[in-house]
Amino acid sequence: MKFGIVTFPGSNCDDDAYLAVTEALGATAERLWHKDHDLRGADVIILPGGFSYGDYLRSGAIARFSPIMREVVEHARRGGPVLGICNGFQILCESGLLPGALLRNRQLQFVCTTVVLRVESRDTMFTNQYREGQLLRIPVAHGDGRYTIDDSGLARLEDAHQVVFRYVDGAGNASPEANPNGSLDNIAGIVNERGNVMGMMPHPERVVTELLGGRDGLGVFESILARVAA
Amino acid sequence: MTRFRIAVHIVPRRGILDPQGKAVADALHALGFATVKDVRIGRHIVVDADAASPADAEADVRAMCDKLLANPVTEDYEIAGVAPL
């Protein structure tokens, strides 16, 4: 079982993701470059956070046309797991692998803080090591994190239990105050209909060992390992 | 082939919160422009391209908007002008 971590020009969480899966999880990983034309045998692809291509035009809009993305899209179509974190989530929406879009934060300011997430669905290959309703403390750091989708798209997400994480307060309520960016229905992370592609704005790779202040994010990677290695 | 300059307006779709537009509308109200009902802030893109006719030039830029320049989930666009160079 091998992870593949993609680096685009402007990615800045690729090392964190690499260390999360190698050191904290103990798995093997391959670094992939945006100009690469093959996934080098990676079973799970991670699109990390950052500011690919300077966020020119729209966040993720240019990265989507990188040579490596052709392979990532094919991998996803074959049912291969893809995890997009922060800018990776934006790239997945722009590339059409996930529905909806991520817009400028409601308050027009970059938000860098630790949020509380509620696990909305543990029946995914990315969250099966968590408990349903479990509260996680995970950092966010983004300017364009306001998830949006039209009404029918939102209904489809809800009906198919594709909303995986919501921003909540300490008591677990998805209140407006707990929402760091104005995201629709406090949505922090979703999976595609097939369940093999997940995007999330918070950074699980930043909380995988006590040295980093917590381990609440490790479950995402443990879940993938449990499912893919099985 | 003739070279054309094609301008396109891209704006956030109505119904989607545009916090920049809202902030500017609030500022305009504060300045006394009481007639302002709505402000939406988008982008203006100017493309120079070769085409056989103005209609072809416009069709090309519409294809560019559909594929890259505009986000079909959140934005609308309109061709603002097509002029030979």
Mean pLDDT for back-to-back runs of 10 residues, chain A (230 residues): 96 97 97 97 97 94 95 97 98 97 96 98 96 98 97 96 98 97 98 98 98 96 91
Instruction: Tell me the two tokens of residue A178.
Output: 């707990």
- The pLDDT of residue A7 is 98
- The pLDDT of residue B21 is 95
Instruction: Tell me the two tokens of residue B76.
Output: 């609308």
- The pLDDT of residue A87 is 97
For residue B60, the enclosing domain spans 2-84
Whether A97 contacts A64, CB under 8 Å: no
Q: What residues of chain B score a pLDDT lower than 70?
A: none
- The pLDDT of residue A229 is 79
CB-based contacts of B56, cutoff 8 Å, min separation 6: none
Q: Do residue A148 and residue B74 have CB atoms under 8 angstroms apart? A: yes
Instruction: Tell me the two tokens of residue A171.
Output: 């008591």
A150 contact B CB<8A: yes
- The pLDDT of residue A203 is 98
- The pLDDT of residue A51 is 96
- The pLDDT of residue A230 is 67
CATH of the domain at B11: 3.30.1280.10
Kindly report the pTM of this predicted structure.
0.95
The DSSP letter of residue A125 is T
Q: Do residue B19 and residue A104 have CB atoms under 8 angstroms apart? A: yes
Number of folded domains in chain B?
1
φ, ψ of residue A154 in degrees (nearest 5): -65, -40
ipTM of the complex: 0.87
Q: Do residue B73 and residue A93 have CB atoms under 8 angstroms apart? A: yes
The residue assigned the tokens 């002008």 is B81
Contact pairs from chain A to chain B, CB under 8 Å = 34
CB-based contacts of A76, cutoff 8 Å, min separation 6: A45, A82, A97, A192, A196, A197
DSSP per residue, A192-203: -TTSSEEEESS-
A103 contact B CB<8A: yes
CA dist A133 and A126 (Å) reads: 15
